[in-house]
Amino acid sequence: MTHDLRPIRAVAFDLDGTLVDSAPDIQHALNDALKKEGLQRFDLELVRGWIGDGPDVLIARALAHQGLGDADDEFRARLRRWFDAATLAAPLSGGSVFPGILDLVAGLRRLVPMVAVTNKPTPLARAVLDAAGVLPFLASVHGADTPALRKPAPAMLLAACDRVGVEPPHLLMVGDSEPDMRSAQAAGCPAMLVTWGYGHDKLGGWPPQIRIDAPDQLLQALRAARAGTEPILNS
């Protein structure tokens, strides 16, 4: 299946697992919160599999894993405050920007406006993006500050469209997981799945979409689309 990128006028990036390998920092923040409440901590590989739906769901999964799925809202809120504080104190001390991402956003800035659309709350997302050196390239950051905004809901992508002044068919959602793909589908945006992130291997049965293995593939494809030469990517 082929995909024509000539209609693309803006790009929305997921954050965790797409722009940044933030799993070590998420693990640190989660374990810091759990430790402060005397709870079990978890290794990186397990936490990596829980990433993608925001900190509240992450905390819920950690609680359920140790038989505390019925913990009350006040306790969950306290864990969330510890998690946020640890994230803001060290937004990218253990993680790293994926190779090629900074070259990608620097190159795309000359072609299209870019935004971040993430299930991280906006203050945490902006802190990570700033530490990663990506924030100056973005027109806006759309975080899931309420549960209703969380991907796979389309609200953040639609807000991103309004922010950069394009209709959904002209905004390309780039992400690594099922919530990204479902959010794009719900919003009416085309989607691109990156294979270097956390959740792409769980999407084997998903309808064909663009898949890329390295950031420069997107940059090259959009440059070609703008030049009117070879604007097609294969899924």
One of 3.30.56.10, 1.10.150.240, 1.10.645.10, 1.10.8.60 is the CATH number of 23-89, namely 1.10.150.240
Where in the chain are all domains bearing CATH 1.10.150.240?
23-89
Q: What residues are labeled active site? A: 14
pLDDT digits (tens, 9 = 90+) for 103-131: 999 999 999 999 999 999 999 999 999 99
**Which H helix or E strand runs over 11?**
strand 10-13
What type of residue sits at position 176? D
Q: How far is CA 130 from CA 58, 59, 96, 125, 168, in A?
A: 23, 24, 12, 8, 27
User: 16 pairs with which residues across the strands?
Assistant: 20
Q: How many Cα neighbours within 13 Å face the side chain of 177? A: 22
For the beta carbon of residue 47, count every other beta carbon within 10 angstroms.
Answer: 21
Element (H, E) at 210: strand 210-212
The answer for residues whose C-beta is within 8 angstroms of residue 85's C-beta and 6 or more apart is: none
C-alpha span between 69 and 220 (Å, rounded): 46
Residue 23's pLDDT band, with cuts at 50, 70 and 90, is very high
DSSP per-residue string spanning 62-97: HHHHTT-TT--HHHHHHHHHHHHHHHHHSTTSS-EE
Task: Say if CB 49 and CB 65 are below 8 A apart.
Answer: no
- The model's pLDDT over 125-135, given as tens digits with 9 standing for 90+, comes to 999 999 999 99
Assess whether pLDDT exceeds 60 at residue 100. yes
Proportion of the chain above pLDDT 70, given as a percent: 92
Q: Which part of the chain is CATH 3.40.50.1000?
A: 2-21+95-234
More confident residue, 225 or 15: 15
What tens digit of pLDDT does each residue of 154-211 get? Answer: 999 999 999 999 999 999 999 999 999 999 999 999 999 999 988 777 776 666 568 8
Q: For domain 2-21+95-234, is the CATH number 3.40.50.1000?
A: yes
Whether the Cβ atoms of residue 30 and residue 42 lie closer than 8 Å to each other: yes
Q: What is the pTM assigned to this prediction?
A: 0.92
pLDDT in the model for residue 96: 97
Q: What is the pLDDT of residue 1?
A: 40
